[in-house]
Amino acid sequence: MKKEACGLFAIYGHPEAARMTYFGLYALQHRGQESAGIVSFDGQKMFEHKGMGLVPDVFKEENLRQLPGDIALGHVRYSTTGSSQIRNAQPFMVHFKDLNIAIGHNGNLINTWELRQELENEGVIFQTTMDSEVIVHLLAKYLNGSTIEEALIKTLAKIQGAYSLIILINNKLIGLRDPLGFHPLSIGKVGSSYVLASETCAFDLLEAEYLRCVKPGEMVIIEEDRLNSIFFAEPQKQSSCIFELIYFARPDSIVFEEEVYLARKKMGTILAQEAPIEADFVMPFPDSGVYAAIGYAQASGLPFEMAMIRNHYVGRTFIQPSQDMRDFGVRVKLNPVAKMIKNKRIIIIEDSIVRGTTIRTRVKKLRELGAREIHMRVSCPPIRYPCFFGIDFSSKGELIASKQSVNDIARFIGLDSLHYLSLEGLKKSVSWKNNFCLACFNEEYPLKPSEKCGKFCVEW
């Protein structure tokens, strides 16, 4: 499956636009560690710098100096293994007639295969495997005799799937979300400069004020310091990605106008109501389970502990361990506090179970340290179906819940009990303002990819 979960940031009319974008991406680093890129526009020319790796590794002071201008657009891309390449780094920048066009995309289209077929039949060549390139080709095609806005609306009418986009066309900055609103995009303001970002934590870092979400089907156009809004599509039933709240977004962010921290805590609270059990304490596998664990502990009245310690330096590549160091990759990240585990009845809170193998190794270690009982509570329902809209479960391997029952999973991991948050519980964790895509739990895809495209999206 293509990995399209990414972070977007842009700023308009700031004397240090590229530097601000650098810090915006820094705050969004958790959304993509594979590559980072910034494009700037100085009124005449467009400049870009992209590279593989983390934001502070890709950009040095001299790179920023070569990104002049007061408009900038940045992108971070998800970490993958193997075939990831610099040519697939974003923003994707092209020239068309007298226009410089740069585009950053978060999400995944489901009719890419058909669109590429169609475009190739018209003689279009492709340099990358990115959806962004398809979008730009369509845009160029429709720009013939149309305004930018018209061409863009025609383009959006052709593409299907999940897309939060930021597009810079000369000195026009456009932010938009697909009509179903799969992925987030927010509007902020710092001084007189508008900023766009995938998550509000980027605004916090820059001390920008959070104004509002870009709405599903809305396109905001920032030009000469004014922001105009156009709705390019009919209102539909919103299908925002619930996984942004469960796992993906930073806990200090607001996405889809939901407070992530509160949503996660609420999941834990409801989990405690749905599946209470006697125990000595509640603990997360840090960091993902922390906030639901806090919610669970408060609701259950059980003590909260952090008895698995995270190595803060993990994340940097290290040398291969010796052959006899089994499960090293799991062990190096989290180390249990032996004394806390021995003879204890423990409730572990996890945000999700994908393949289950890492969790199994950790649970086994807790058993070795003498844990008396180990119960697991998961803050979402079993993930049974693939995502076509930008969340890459399959990179972690096959979905254990698609083939095994909850009991089988509990046995596989070595748990005394296992409970997943119910779909109803999950829905109650978030506000009623929003409607979420729950397809990975219930197979109710808001959009159905064609068979061809499904295959293409997955195997490309």
Residue 298 or 394 with smaller CB distance to its own copies: 298
Residue 226 or 319 with smaller CB distance to its own copies: 319
Residue 157 or 325 with smaller CB distance to its own copies: 325
Binding of its own copies by 251 (CB under 8 A): yes
Give the shortest CB-135-to-its own copies separation in angstroms.
11
Binding of its own copies by 280 (CB under 8 A): no
Give the shortest CB-303-to-its own copies separation in angstroms.
5
- Kindly indicate which of the ranges 18-26, 181-189, 230-238, 385-393 contains the residues binding its own copies, using the contact rule CB under 8 A: 18-26
Chosen residue from 156, 169, 242, 290 binding its own copies by CB under 8 A: 290
Chosen residue from 9, 12, 26, 389 binding its own copies by CB under 8 A: 26
* Torsion of the alpha carbons at 435, 439, 445 and 449, rounded to the nearest 10: 130
For residues 103 to 132, the per-residue mask of contacts with its own copies, x marking binding by CB under 8 A and - elsewhere, is -----------------xxxxxxxx-x---
Chosen residue from 113, 261, 285, 296 binding its own copies by CB under 8 A: 261
- Kindly indicate which of the ranges 154-162, 250-258, 373-381, 399-407 contains the residues binding its own copies, using the contact rule CB under 8 A: 250-258
Chosen residue from 228, 235, 237, 315 binding its own copies by CB under 8 A: 315
Q: From its phi and psi, is residue 61 left (phi > 0), alpha (psi between -120 and 50) or beta?
A: alpha
Chosen residue from 213, 246, 249, 307 binding its own copies by CB under 8 A: 307
| Distance between first and last Cα of the chain | 7
CA distance 71 to 172: 9
Q: Is 300 helix (H, G, I), strand (E, B) or coil?
A: helix
Q: Is 6 a catalytic residue?
A: yes
CA distance 197 to 89: 18
Binding of its own copies by 460 (CB under 8 A): no
C-alpha of 16 from chain center: 27
Q: Which of residues 146-175 bind its own copies (CB under 8 A)?
A: none
Q: How many Cα atoms within 13 Å fall on the side-chain side of residue 326? A: 4
Binding of its own copies by 311 (CB under 8 A): yes
Of the candidates 186, 184, 154, 147, which has an alpha carbon nearest to the alpha carbon of residue 169? 147
Which of 6, 213, 241, 380 is flagged as catalytic?
Answer: 6
b/e for 86-120, b at 16 or more Cβ within 10 A? eebbbbbbbeeeeebbbbbbbbbbbbbbbbbeebe
C-alpha of 39 from chain center: 21
Write the CA distances from 343 to 5, 216, 334, 361, integer angstroms.
41, 51, 20, 19
Binding of its own copies by 44 (CB under 8 A): no
Binding of its own copies by 275 (CB under 8 A): no
The amino acid occupying position 58 is V
Of the candidates 364, 368, 403, which has an alpha carbon nearest to the alpha carbon of residue 386? 403
Q: Which of residues 51-70 bind its own copies (CB under 8 A)?
A: 54-57, 59-61, 64
Binding-site size, its own copies (CB under 8 A): 85
Q: Which of residues 365-384 bind its own copies (CB under 8 A)?
A: none
The residues carrying an active-site annotation are 6
